[in-house]
């Protein structure tokens, strides 16, 4: 997770932590007792958590009985003392959805899930966030209202264009994508791809490694996204020139 543009705002910090997360501990209700399990994790354009779950899994049976869930997102990797690192607990209701765009977004972030996402016993769940509990570090503990946690501005045109932008960037401008990962984020490896674009940044993946690059200001339209992608690649002249030809 790259440094958020406004770490003083707990809602922004928590939402960006969620955007950078790929897995979570899911807590559900098993006959009145808490049941925790590991799940793959992604978020929608507005920050709503997305989960792809099998009907055969115990947590899915629990959700069918009681849709209330809690998700723990751990961003403490790299901290000598994990208890000094940031983490977020999200509370809400998990509701099944057939939204093809959301399903496609989840698969884009987790390519291996494409092999089973179409199975009849797998369903995508969207978590309706009620509130979050953020521990951003020592003495930085805040409750976040669900309405504040979600990205409030209208980014529907960006959402509609997201996958075409990803396709174009990954197929035509792979040099710029590599520049984002290696020059701007300091990552190594060959074959980086953009897996997600939202108003606050881009998500990247290379094999099993993931990275996130935050924007300094919200991006709400395809045109604004193009301008930011050009700007981010300006440190590499060849990439910038190629992008100007979009």
Q: How many alpha carbons lie under 13 Å from residue 201 in its C-beta half-sphere?
A: 26
Point out the domain boundary residue: 134, 149, 164. Answer: 149
Point out the domain boundary residue: 120, 149, 178. Answer: 149
CATH number at residue 214: 3.20.180.10
Residue 163 placed within a domain:
yes
- Confidence grade of residue 243 (pLDDT, cut at 50, 70, 90): very low
Residue 1 placed within a domain:
no
- Pair 29, 112 in one domain: yes
- Pair 103, 52 in one domain: yes
Phi-psi region at 95: left, alpha or beta (left = phi > 0; alpha = psi -120 to 50): beta
3-class secondary structure for the chain? Answer: CCCCCCCCCHHHHHHHHHHCCCEEEEEEEECCEEEEEEEECEECCCCCEEEEEECCCHHHHHHHHCCEEEEEEECCCCCCCHHHCCEEEEEEEEEEECCHHHHHHHHHHCHHHHHCCCCCCEEEEEEEEEEEEEEEECCEEEEEEHHHHCCCCCCHHHHHHHHHHHHHHHHHCHHHHHHHHHHHCCCCCCCCEEEEEECCEEEEEECCEEEEEECCCCCCCHHHHHHHHHHHCCCCHHHHHHHHCC
Supply the pTM of this predicted model.
0.91
- Pair 174, 67 in one domain: no
- Confidence grade of residue 234 (pLDDT, cut at 50, 70, 90): confident
Residue 107 placed within a domain:
yes
- Pair 174, 99 in one domain: no
Separation between Cα atoms, residue 146 and residue 109, nearest integer Å: 23
- Pair 23, 69 in one domain: yes
Structural domain range at position 167? 156-244
Mind listing the pLDDT tens digit for each residue in 100-121?
A: 999 999 999 999 999 999 999 9
- Pair 56, 85 in one domain: yes
- Pair 87, 18 in one domain: yes
Residue 85 near residue 137 (C-beta atoms within 8 A): yes
Residue 72 near residue 87 (C-beta atoms within 8 A): yes
Domain count, the chain: 2
Q: Is the pLDDT of residue 3 over 50?
A: no
Residue 163 near residue 89 (C-beta atoms within 8 A): no
Helix axes 237-244, 222-232, angle to 10 degrees: 160
- Pair 178, 128 in one domain: no
- Pair 57, 130 in one domain: yes
Residue 211 placed within a domain:
yes
Dihedral sign, Cα of residue 198, residue 68, residue 100, residue 170: positive
**What is the model's pLDDT at position 8?**
74
- Pair 21, 133 in one domain: yes
Q: Is the pLDDT of residue 163 over 60?
A: yes
Residue 97 placed within a domain:
yes
Residue matched to tokens 């030809």: 245
- Pair 116, 203 in one domain: no
Point out the domain boundary residue: 149, 169, 191. Answer: 149
Residue 14 near residue 132 (C-beta atoms within 8 A): yes
Residue 3 placed within a domain:
no
- Pair 161, 81 in one domain: no
Give the mean model confidence (pLDDT) for residues 58-70.
Answer: 98
**What is the model's pLDDT at position 238?**
45
Residue 5 placed within a domain:
no
């Amino acid at each position: 997770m790259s440094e958020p543009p406004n770490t003083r705002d707990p809602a922004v910090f928590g939402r960006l932590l969620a955007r950078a997360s790929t897995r979570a501990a899911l807590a559900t209700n098993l006959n009145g007792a808490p049941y925790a399990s590991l799940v793959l994790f992604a978020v929608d354009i507005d920050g709503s958590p997305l989960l792809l779950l099998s009907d055969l899994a115990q947590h899915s049976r629990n959700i069918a009985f009681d849709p209330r869930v809690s998700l723990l997102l751990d961003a403490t990797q790299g901290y000598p003392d994990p208890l000094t690192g940031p983490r977020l607990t999200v509370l809400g209701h998990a509701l099944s959805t057939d939204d093809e765009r959301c399903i496609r977004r989840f698969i884009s972030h987790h390519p291996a899930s494409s092999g089973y996402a179409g199975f009849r016993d797998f369903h995508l769940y969207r978590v309706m966030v009620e509130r979050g509990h953020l521990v951003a570090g020592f003495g930085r503990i805040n409750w976040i209202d669900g309405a504040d946690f979600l990205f409030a501005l209208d980014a529907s045109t960006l959402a509609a264009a997201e996958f075409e932008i990803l396709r174009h960037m990954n197929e035509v401008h792979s040099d710029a994508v590599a520049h984002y990962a290696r020059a701007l984020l300091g990552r190594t490896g060959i074959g980086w791809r953009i897996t997600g674009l939202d108003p606050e940044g881009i998500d990247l993946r290379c094999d099993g490694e993931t990275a996130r690059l935050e924007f300094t200001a919200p991006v709400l339209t395809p045109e604004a996204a193009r301008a930011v992608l050009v700007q981010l690649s300006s440190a590499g002249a060849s990439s910038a020139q190629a992008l100007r030809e979009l």
